[in-house]
Structure 1
Amino acid sequence: MTATADTATGTMRAAVLTGPSTVAVQHRPVPVPARDEVLVRVGSVGICGSDVHYYRHGRIGSMIVDGPLVLGHEAGGRVVDTGDDVDTALLGQRVALEPQRPCRRCHHCKGGRYNLCPEMEFFATPPIDGAFCDYVTVPADFAHPVPDTLSDEAVALLEPLSVGVWACHKGDVGPGSRVFVTGAGPIGAVTVQAARAAGATEIIVSDPVASRRERMLDFGASRVVDSGTFVPDDLDADAFIDCSGATPAVLGGIRAVRGGGAVVLVGLGAEEMLLPVQYLQNKEITLTGTFRYVDTWPAAISLVTSGRIDLDGMVTARYPLERAEDALAGGDDPRGMKAVVTVSEEGA
């Protein structure tokens, strides 16, 4: 193991969720990379809706925070140390972090569906700590090299972009597609951009908040509509991608899909809802959920590097690590799009 970071004290800062709506900056030991891992000095970390949910409610479904937890899974930085089996040429490399650690042995992993691994360890999902800290370790092949032309913030937001890329993949979005997206938050924005990059020629976005709707036009939407008044029955969309989790949006969006089209559920909503089964059956509509992503980083990095997708334009608020709690507490501001916590400048 070859150390290049200034880790002489052996400790680092970590913003720790210590209780409901309570975050404290603590000093913790700098982690040591395992043989197949790299140690990354964190640059920027995006605030995700799941982080806000854990902060406020202490759980998401069956995933319960039952002890101190470091939040944050949208992250990038710079490699400052390598495990014994990792090529030291990675030292100094800026990387985007794919925040998951599958077992690599189970049926799902070997079948190319590692996102479904039952032994998955995912950043900021209890009890696995996330990236609101100075240093993290990740498997070397899940630290994806990025060019210096990308900002730290864009590198962090490759993670939510991966959600949009995966959603479009699951919806078979391609050249000439007509896509209906509900929810004009950050995931809606990256989904719209991913759909446009995939070749969709018409992208309609629905949301109840006018300011959020209008912003989608800047990210590539063809048209925006008020979800409170718009009836999407005659859209004849090739793909409907729900990024809201709202039951009315899901039920309305299903009826916007043409025969043989696809419904992709991305937003986290009710555990159960009544679906129009006969409509789905008679039109042979594919209905699928999404759970994170698989092998999306190479495409996401290429799309942003080429200028086809704008991630920097999504950032509307910035906080230092010491104010991570303020970033989490401000998650409901409809005027905001994406908040980012800056841990270090340029991952240096």
Structure 2
Amino acid sequence: MASLTEGKSNLSFILNSPLNVSYEERPIPTLTDPRSVLVAIAYTGICGSDVHYWQHGSIGPFVLKSPMCLGHESSGTIAAVGSAVTKLKLGDRVAIEPGTPCRHCEPCLSGHYNLCPDMRFAATPPYDGTLTGFYTAAEDFCYKLPDQVSLQEGALVEPLAVAVHITKQAEISPGASVVVMGAGPVGLLCCAVAKAFGATKVVSVDIQQGRLDFAKGYAATHTFMPERVAAEVNAENLIKSADLGEGADVVIDASGAEPSIQASIHVVRRGGVYVQGGMGKPDITFPIMAMCTKEITMRGSFRYGSGDYKLAVQLVAGGALEVKSLVSREVPFKDAEQAFEDVLKGKGIKVLIRGPNHEGDAKAEVKGEEKKEVEAPAAAVSEKEVVAEKSGEAVTEKEVEAPAAAVAEKSEEAVVAPVAEKTEAVEESTPVEDATKSVATETSDPVVDIAKADEAVEVAAPAPAAEEPAPAVVEEKTEAPAAEESTPASASEPAADTEAAKPVAPVEVPQHTSVLDAIHKIEETAKGTDTLG
């Protein structure tokens, strides 16, 4: 067995228990199956399920009972091959399908191996995942990447295959109208695949304006942000907004959110198709009457099946859709935990973690340098710039975000408290990514520097001699930057301001004039004036 593992690391990112992760140098795996290969992991994306295991230690019946390596969205290079391997060779770049079925049960034999009850799926207890240096996989579940497809794009084949399977379940035909609930990675990819399948109207629905903006520039022809109203009302508004006539031919829910599912049934036309792709609460209130009377065809979708991975690679290689712009940034392996934190906070669309043997990171470590995060192909705005916008701090690092994430964070963090409260209120009734993928970007009240605010109030305070009502002065000085320009400069100036506010010409009374002289002066002024004060 030829091999390319000499001198390489098998550092692994291990989940020991909820919120307890560590880095562990494990032995490089040996091939025991003659039809398996050893893959040197190049890039791994973070899925919502990874985050859920990290946070809770379980998903449904799959419970963490012993330390487990996380990650399952990966690409890499063939480092060793078994004796019976015929289609792959050393050095081939591949996308890894992370689940291996038994190949013998009824679902497997009927072509639905994704439903195999004995599936061995990466990063699903008790099986280890791909956030490691080397990973063993079956030859026929590794897909060779064409020359025009990068390893970064190869890591996005997994979520793209999920979108391909969901969209195939919808049986989209050319000219169809499609509504996708949720603009997370899978929802965005569903939009792209639907368009590639011939849909002429693709509507993306989400509660984050930044993600909707990204969706419009990515694959959606229309976008819609729902409100905190009844599902029927949101459905009616969506249909009108996107000019869907009697409703959409197909509605895909990629959020798992109950209000989105309810609205979806009212959006789909009579005789249309509804596909549930997102996972959420085990039980929900469902508009069964609308489903029956409209005779809606309803299907579930789980992972990916026969041909989905192959088609996903072909769509990218042929240019039918692109996935590069979904990558927010890539980080070195040692920053994996921070990357999980960022995904939990909803930062960016997709974060890639470089493998522990990444050449650039290894060289930097030898030189004692710190390898920085690198800008992804479509990334343009730095996360630190967004934070600096909130707090006024200087930018000292260059961690980059994708356009959609940056726009989302800027728009959310620039709003005042009442709008933030509204966003939080709407969240319960509007689409988000599924329960394992739906952590929205954190929103909070604007950051206020108390010291600066107090200083601004002191500067804006009116001089005690002024006759103007105090509230008027305070109202003018609500913005600290302008306070110095409009603040009275001395105690003598407010008198002039007060006189200027009177409707008649000011009467000038010298400080040492007698009362009688003052009366004469006023009478003379009154003779030349139509109205007196």
Unpaired segments ≥5 residues, structure 1: none
Please name the residue that 1:42 is paired with: 41
The answer on whether the counterparts of 2:64 and 2:125 sit within 8 Å (CA) in structure 1 is yes
Please name the residue that 1:288 is paired with: 299
User: By how many angstroms is 1:153 displaced?
Assistant: 1.4
The answer on whether the counterparts of 2:43 and 2:353 sit within 8 Å (CA) in structure 1 is yes
The answer to whether structure 1 residue 319 and structure 2 residue 322 are counterparts is: no
Aligned-partner Cα distance in 2 for 1:346–1:113: 39
Please name the residue that 1:17 is paired with: 15
Please name the residue that 2:373 is paired with: none
SS in 1 for 2:26: strand
The answer on whether the counterparts of 1:240 and 1:253 sit within 8 Å (CA) in structure 2 is yes
Please name the residue that 1:336 is paired with: 348
Structure (1/2) with the larger helix percentage: 2
Please name the residue that 2:29 is paired with: 31
The answer on whether the counterparts of 1:21 and 1:56 sit within 8 Å (CA) in structure 2 is yes
SS in 2 for 1:90: coil
Please name the residue that 2:235 is paired with: 232
The answer on whether the counterparts of 1:152 and 1:346 sit within 8 Å (CA) in structure 2 is no
User: By how many angstroms is 1:82 displaced?
Assistant: 0.8
Q: What is the CA RMSD across the aligned residues, in angstroms?
A: 1.8
Please name the residue that 2:316 is paired with: 304
Q: Deviations over 1:155-198 (max 9, x none)?
A: 00000000111111001112111011111111111111111111
Q: Deviations over 1:212-251 (max 9, x none)?
A: 1111012210111112267224441111111111100010
SS in 2 for 1:217: helix
Aligned-partner Cα distance in 1 for 2:227–2:100: 40
Aligned-partner Cα distance in 1 for 2:87–2:222: 49
Aligned-partner Cα distance in 2 for 1:88–1:339: 31
SS in 2 for 1:232: helix
Please name the residue that 1:2 is paired with: 2
Q: 1:334 to 1:325 in 2, by over 3 A?
A: closer
SS in 2 for 1:330: helix
Poorly superposed stretches of 4+, deviation over 6 Å: none
Q: How many residues align?
A: 346
The answer on whether the counterparts of 2:258 and 2:285 sit within 8 Å (CA) in structure 1 is no
- The aligned amino acid for 2:328 is T
- The aligned amino acid for 2:295 is E
User: By how many angstroms is 1:291 displaced?
Assistant: 0.7
Please name the residue that 2:268 is paired with: 257
Aligned-partner Cα distance in 2 for 1:212–1:275: 27
Indicate the larger mover: 46-55 or 223-232. Answer: 223-232
- The aligned amino acid for 1:331 is V
Please name the residue that 1:134 is paired with: 133
Aligned-partner Cα distance in 2 for 1:302–1:89: 18
The answer to whether structure 1 residue 273 and structure 2 residue 284 are counterparts is: yes
Aligned-partner Cα distance in 1 for 2:96–2:46: 15
Query: Radius of gyration: which is bigger?
Result: 2
User: By how many angstroms is 1:76 displaced?
Assistant: 0.8
The answer on whether the counterparts of 2:182 and 2:205 sit within 8 Å (CA) in structure 1 is yes
Please name the residue that 2:79 is paired with: 80
Please name the residue that 2:378 is paired with: none
Please name the residue that 2:514 is paired with: none
User: By how many angstroms is 1:8 displaced?
Assistant: 5.1
TM-score, normalised relative to structure 2 = 0.63
Aligned-partner Cα distance in 2 for 1:12–1:217: 41
Percent same amino acid among aligned pairs?
37
The answer to whether structure 1 residue 54 and structure 2 residue 53 are counterparts is: yes
- The aligned amino acid for 1:133 is T
Structure of higher RCO (CA pairs closer than 8 Å, 6+ residues apart): 1
- The aligned amino acid for 2:308 is T
Q: Deviations over 1:286-321 (max 9, x none)?
A: 111111011212211111112221111001132111
Please name the residue that 2:387 is paired with: none
- The aligned amino acid for 1:2 is A
Aligned-partner Cα distance in 2 for 1:8–1:342: 18
Aligned-partner Cα distance in 1 for 2:105–2:52: 30
- The aligned amino acid for 2:226 is S
The answer on whether the counterparts of 2:95 and 2:155 sit within 8 Å (CA) in structure 1 is yes
User: By how many angstroms is 1:89 displaced?
Assistant: 5.0
